[in-house]
Chain A
């Protein structure tokens, strides 16, 4: 059974720092991995999608890497800003022959960037 965990659970950093959020999954058989941002009580905003054949994806100050064989992904945020404060979730889509494509979400990292 696929399990997804994220470390750390919470993180507080001063503005301007570069930071790394970690996501681990137990089964390397995945189609893709997606990183989301969620503000308190709000919906999920997609940040980056990495296909299983890709190693990394970049969007602005965000860079996500994927090492499928070791079951790890990292989200790198450069020059953090207070507006980056949110919960960051990673989600994997397991490979399956049954034609189901649900996401399994990680436990999330709650980020606070201090001004």
Chain B
């Protein structure tokens, strides 16, 4: 079965550079979520999209932006990178049942490990 695809898997950038992370959800999933997991920490929600519209925003820095495209893939753009941005970035996708709430499981991708030097 198809899973959530993230690219690249590893990324090394220098401070003040820009990075773009991509996420391809499971086919027919309509919702995409981005999470950030710092070293030794639990994943923290950044932002989500439902049907290409931003549906929720968490602790995402103003230097970051994201969008979901017509084919439902999503990109997380990170500018003016800082050392503290080094983390594992997860994308997840799910279906949302508007009548019954989010009954469906959230599937996580393998993550992109970003290292800022």
Q: Which residues of A contact B (CB under 8 A)?
A: 31-32, 34, 36, 41-44, 46, 49, 51, 89, 91, 93, 95, 98-108
Contact = CB atoms under 8 A, between A and B. Distances in A.
A113 to B, nearest CB: 21
B101 to A, nearest CB: 5
A63 B107 CA distance: 20
Interface string B92-117: 10101000011101111111010000
B64 interface: no
Given A101-B94, A107-B42, 10 more contacts: A34-B105, A43-B90, A43-B109, A46-B107, A51-B103, A89-B42, A99-B55, A100-B56, A102-B48, A102-B56
Interface of B: 31, 33, 35, 42-45, 48, 50, 55-56, 58, 88, 90, 92, 94, 96, 101-103, 105-111, 113
Contacts of A107: 42
Nearest to A45: B108
A102 B101 contact: no
Given A99-B50, A100-B48, A101-B31, A46 B105 contact: yes
Contacts of A95: 101
B56 A44 contact: no
A32 B110 CA distance: 22
A41 B110 CA distance: 10
Given A34-B105, A93-B102, A105 B42 contact: yes
